[in-house]
Amino acid sequence: MRSLKKLFIPHSGNQFHPHLIRFRMLALYCLVLIVSQFALGFFSDISKTKAIAATAISSQEIVNLTNLERQKRELPLLKENEMLKKAAYEKGLDMFADQYWAHVASDGTTPWDFILQAGYDYLYAGENLAKDFTTAEGAVNAWMHSPSHRDNIINSEFQDIGVAVVTGQFKGSETTICVQMLGSLFQQKTVESFSSSETTLSQSLPEAKPDVTSPQPPIILKPQDQAILNDPQPAIEGISESYATVAIYDQDLLLGEVPADSQNAFSYRPPEPFPEGGHVFSAIATDQAGNASGPSFPASVVIDTLAPFIDLGSLEVTPFWRMGERAIEVRVVVLSDPDQAVARIGDFTLILTSYQKDLYEGVLVPPTEALNQNVVFISAKDRAGNEVETKSSLSAFPEPNPQLYAGSILGEFMSRSENIINKLKPKSFQENIRFFYILFGLVLVLLFGVDSVSLNLKGMQRQSSHSLTHAVFFGLSLLGIIFGSMGVIL
């Protein structure tokens, strides 16, 4: 007991300075933080056999909270739009596939590209992103405290909303990303035509000298170099000298010729589908004087129109109880090198992981309202965007383990405390790290809080090293609490 007292309690035996909060312990605490960070990651990777999606965030809740903020400001409520919802979902999958956290993808794809590809012809559009939040309230509150995100939410020009919540492995850790797309549809306005008088002006011009200057080589804008396409007849578009004739080639094979318009743009649509595999497109421009340019920079692409194959015979969708919660284990074999395999029930989505070739697996722990769907969808997509989807009916959940609910008093207690436990317990490696930071920070605050109170009660003056130790410990604990409590928005 005397040794414990020296560690924790300020008294004359330790000069009213507990050993646990002395300056020498600072190095040990920092070392423990660093080692635990790597150790938790190492053992998490060893024990991890499948992805687990367990989050309290629902897309509907984010929509409701967003509209609540607009209602407070007497703004029109946003309507859910399936096209924006699809755009948000595809953006979430793309961030996990390419492992980036940004509004613009590594290949230059913008949020507006996802919105247009979903069929939403927008007049105004915006995007908010959030990750590592455990509640919808936390994500929306963070957006509202960021000027740019707040401007999107309360923008009076926006009329529609689409939200997706996607869980998967992001740079080695299980992560939940929220994607919010906002927009207003473009409506064509009719413009009354008018006529104007034309004046013909004739004058004598000096005789023009022959044009012998070759035009600049064209630039192919679409498709992009190194692209993988699921369209067997992709449009080949670019810019060249205005009114030039642009010849399109696939390697040495002439595909056809198209004119460049007054805005320097040209577009070629092949009359027949290209065969599967690699192609190298280039272009040569010939101006009106007959001068030919050099070839454009080539665009090497791969045509891939074959979707991945889901082996229905291997599909296993098994309901079970996990720590008092209803969960669904999904295992499936997907062939033809998919880029992603996804399991979904309602709006609850999990990107399945693969630790064995062609085998994808994961555990869904969806909210109760999602379980009412009784159908689990499994989809797979390759790099070209070819997608295949199947579904499986959800069988009845087994009876929960009686040992978990033994006795009426214990069962009642667990039933009433289930919601509280779900909010407190870490559900992923990322949450374990955050929980550890918070606990570490609170323990440090408690230790030097007791020390400070004891010194004040005894009327003792702090030494300079004592004050420095307190300042450093307070900074460490504050950082631990902040890093443990916050998510990230973009």
pLDDT digits (tens, 9 = 90+) for 144-172: 999 889 999 999 999 999 999 998 888 87
Q: Which residues pair with 180 in a beta bridge?
A: 128, 163
Locate 319 and state its tokens: 């309901």
Q: The CATH number of the domain where 131 resides is what? A: 3.40.33.10
Instruction: Identify the CA nearest to 444 among candidates 470, 425, 416, 414.
Output: 470
Residue for token digits 């965030």? 57
Looking at the chain, the whole-number percentage of residues with pLDDT higher than 90 is 45
| 262 Cα distance to chain centroid | 40
- Mean pLDDT check: name the lowest of 185-199, 239-253, 398-412: 185-199
Domain finish residue from 393, 417, 444 = 393
Beta-carbon contacts of 477 under 8 Å, excluding residues fewer than 6 positions away, are 440, 441, 442, 443, 444, 445
With left for phi above 0 and alpha for psi between -120 and 50, is residue 455 left, alpha or beta? alpha
Q: How far apart are CA 308 and CA 379, in angstroms?
A: 9
CB–CB of 288/244 below 8 Å? yes
Q: Is residue 333 part of a domain?
A: yes
- Would you put residue 200 in left (φ > 0), alpha (ψ -120 to 50) or beta? beta
Domain of 165 in residue numbering reads as 59-185
Residues 225, 179: one domain?
no
Residue 439 included in any domain: no
* 64 and 174 share one domain: yes
Nearest to 178 by CA among 348, 391, 394: 348
Q: Assess contact for 362 and 350: CB atoms under 8 A.
A: yes
Residues 71 and 181 in one domain: yes
Q: Are residues 299 and 313 in the same domain?
A: no
Is residue 258 in some structural domain? yes
Give the Cα separation of 259 and 191 in Å (integer): 28
pLDDT of residue 435: 63
pLDDT of residue 190: 37
What is the secondary structure of 187-215 as a DSSP string?
-PPP---------------PPPPP--PPP
52 within domain boundaries: no
Which residue type does 293 have? S
Structure-token pair, residue 257: 């010729």
Judge if 286 and 314 occupy the same domain. no
297/317 same-domain check: no
d(CA 83, CA 160): 10
Q: 171 with 267, same domain?
A: no
Residue 21 has pLDDT above 80, yes or no: no
283 within domain boundaries: yes
Same domain, 114 and 181: yes
Domain boundary among 139, 164, 185: 185
The answer to whether the CB of 95 falls within 8 A of the CB of 101 is yes
Kindly state whether residues 289 and 320 are assigned to the same domain.
no
Whether the Cβ atoms of residue 352 and residue 343 lie closer than 8 Å to each other: yes
Backbone angles phi, psi at 323, to 5 degrees: 50, 45
Q: Return d(Cα 305, Cα 84) in angstroms, integer.
A: 25
CATH number of the CATH domain containing 238: 2.60.40.10
* DSSP state letters, 290-330: SPBPPPPPPEEEEE--PPPEEEEEEEEEEEEEETTEEEEEE
Q: How many domains does the chain have?
A: 5
Kindly state whether residues 273 and 352 are assigned to the same domain. no
Assign 20 a pLDDT band (cuts: 50, 70, 90): low
Measured CA to CA, the distance from residue 279 to residue 274 in angstroms comes to: 9
Mean pLDDT of the chain: 79
Neighbours of 49 (CB within 10 A): 12
For 50-89, what is each residue's pLDDT tens digit? 555 556 688 999 999 999 999 999 999 999 999 999 999 9
Amino acid identity at 368: T
Supply 360's token pair.
Answer: 């994808």
Do 68 and 174 share a domain, yes or no? yes
Averaged pLDDT, 202-225:
77
Res. 478: pLDDT tops 90: no
Q: For position 51, what pLDDT does the model report?
A: 55
- Give the residue among 20, 13, 12 at the shortest CA–CA distance from 469: 20
Instruction: Look at the block and give the residue holding tokens 């309901």.
Output: 319
Residue 409 has pLDDT above 60, yes or no: no
Which domain-ending residue is among 303, 334, 361?
Answer: 303
Tell me if 181 is assigned to some domain.
yes
Phi, psi of 212 (to 5 degrees): -120, 10
Contact 216, 203 (CB under 8 A): no
Distance of alpha carbon 284 from alpha carbon 249, whole angstroms: 8
Task: Please give the span between the terminal C-alpha atoms of the chain, in angstroms, as a whole number.
Answer: 51
Cβ atoms of 332 and 360 within 8 Å: the answer is: yes
What is the model's pLDDT at position 202? 41
Residues 25-51: tens digit of each pLDDT: 666 766 666 666 555 555 444 444 455
User: Would you state the pLDDT for residue 198?
Assistant: 37
Residue 16 pLDDT > 50: yes
pLDDT for residue 40: 53
Averaging pLDDT over each range in 180-189, 384-393, 401-410, 480-489, which range is the top one? 384-393
Indicate if the pLDDT at residue 296 is higher than 90.
Answer: yes
Residue 86 maps to a domain:
yes
Whether residue 281 is found in the same domain as residue 316:
no
For the chain, percent of residues with pLDDT exceeding 70: 66
Peptide bond into 398 cis (omega under 30): no
- Please check whether residue 89 lies inside any domain of the structure: yes
Residue 207 has pLDDT above 70, yes or no: no
Q: Does the model's pTM come out above 0.75?
A: no
